[in-house]
Structure 1
Amino acid sequence: MLATLMRTNLGGKFVEYMRSPRGKAIDKFLVRKFGFSLLMQVFSARVGFPPIPVLLLYSIGHKSGEERAAVMPYLDFENRLYLIAANGAKPRQAAWVDNILANPDVRIVLGRREKLMRARLVDPGAAEREHLWAFAATKTPQYNTYQSRMTRPAPVVALEPRT
């Protein structure tokens, strides 16, 4: 039923609202308090793929120095968390990638629990990335769709516990 509704004009308007600053603020609240992303649910229903679990990523803005938060789908692969920064196949990489390149120490909220992590950009030619990508494609084909529309490899970020 949700998938049918999301493919209507009204569903499109709702997705548009959830992608607005106010909708994103609501989504961050839901992820922080309940571990649930309404935006991921409606977007997944709209494109016809199963939803991927999400976490809340806190990084330090590379220009502002202020803490920034982003709801991110993640993959748990071989006991490590990964983020794929496809940025909806846009030509520019997501701002949070620039943030973690400048300061890899991040904080996440996963399942309502906070964890201190270190972000590491996975080399585009590394076997680690190839194995993860094959796994990601089994979870949602959307990643392959994004990559086919991009002129650059989608950045892949590994999150590892801070020591």
Structure 2
Amino acid sequence: MDRAIIKNKLKRYIKIVRLYSQFLFIYLHNYIYIYSNGRIGKTLAGRPCLILLSTGAKTGLERKNVLSYLKESNSFCIVASNGGREKNPSWYHNLKSNPECKIQIGKNNFSGSAIQIHDEEYIEWWSKMDNMNKGGYSNYQKMTKRKIPLILINLT
């Protein structure tokens, strides 16, 4: 077999293993953070994480998602990147349907109301969030045609 073919196959294999490992790591982190009731997992790769508790748009049931965030004053910014996929994440639709939500950071619980960020405020928050994520959100934006929404949760 040609060396170039072997090298290409090896590169693809490594890429698949790396993606699977990242998915497994994030899934495991989320599971531990939620089921330890916030005692373990407040950060992931140096970024702060919160547990978003929203009401399902279709079911009305409580949904939990672990998301990285940036806090300013009494507001928390989260990004509906969905890993660069073409559709917004389910939690985004939940918050659009019912903006009242709760967040948990560690053992601390807060109530809030979610709004979508637009215009100049969007540009400002996007820059901050992307810097915090070391350009990761810009990479996600390149992968999708939709404009990735930013949500601000204001504590009530």
Query: TM-score band, normalised by the shorter chain?
Result: 0.7 to 0.9
Deviations 1:41-89 (A, max 9, x none): 3xxxxxxxxx321000000000111000000100124652100111000
Q: Is structure 2 residue 138 aligned with structure 1 residue 144? A: yes
Distance 1:148-1:77 versus aligned 2 partners, 3 A rule: farther
Contact residue 35 and residue 112 of structure 1 kept, 8 A: no
Paired residues of 1:31 and 1:56 also in contact (CA < 8 A): no
State the distance in 2 between where 1:127 and 1:120 align: 15
C-alpha contact (below 8 Å) 2:112/2:155 kept by paired residues: yes
- Return 5+ residue gaps in structure 2 as ranges: 1-13
Aligned residues with identical type, % of pairs: 23
Within the candidate set 147, 151, 161, 2:155 is matched to 161
Rounded to whole Å, the distance in 2 between the matches of 1:137 and 1:78 is 19
Residue-pair matches, total: 142
CA contact (8 A) 2:33 2:40 kept: no
Residue among 125, 133, 140 paired with 1:132: 125
Are positions 1:25 and 2:20 aligned together? no
User: SS of the residue aligned with 1:157?
Assistant: strand
Does the aligned pair in 1 maintain the 2:52–2:64 contact within 8 Å? yes
Aligned residue runs from structure 1 range 112-131, under 5 A: 112-123=107-118, 126-131=119-124
Deviations along 1:85-135, whole A, 9 cap, x unmatched?
110000110000000001000000013200000011112xx1111011112
SS where residue 154 of structure 1 aligns? coil
Which one has a bigger Cα radius of gyration?
2
In the aligned structure 1, how far is the partner of 2:42 from the partner of 2:104?
A: 11
Contact kept, 8 Å, 1:106 with 1:117, in 2: the verdict is yes
Task: Extract unaligned runs of 5+ from structure 1.
Answer: 1-6, 42-50
Could you say which residue in structure 1 is the equivalent of 2:89?
94
Tell me, yes or no, if the aligned pair for 1:35 and 1:55 is still in contact at 8 Å. no
Q: TM-score, normalised by structure 2?
A: 0.78
Aligned-CA RMSD value:
2.5
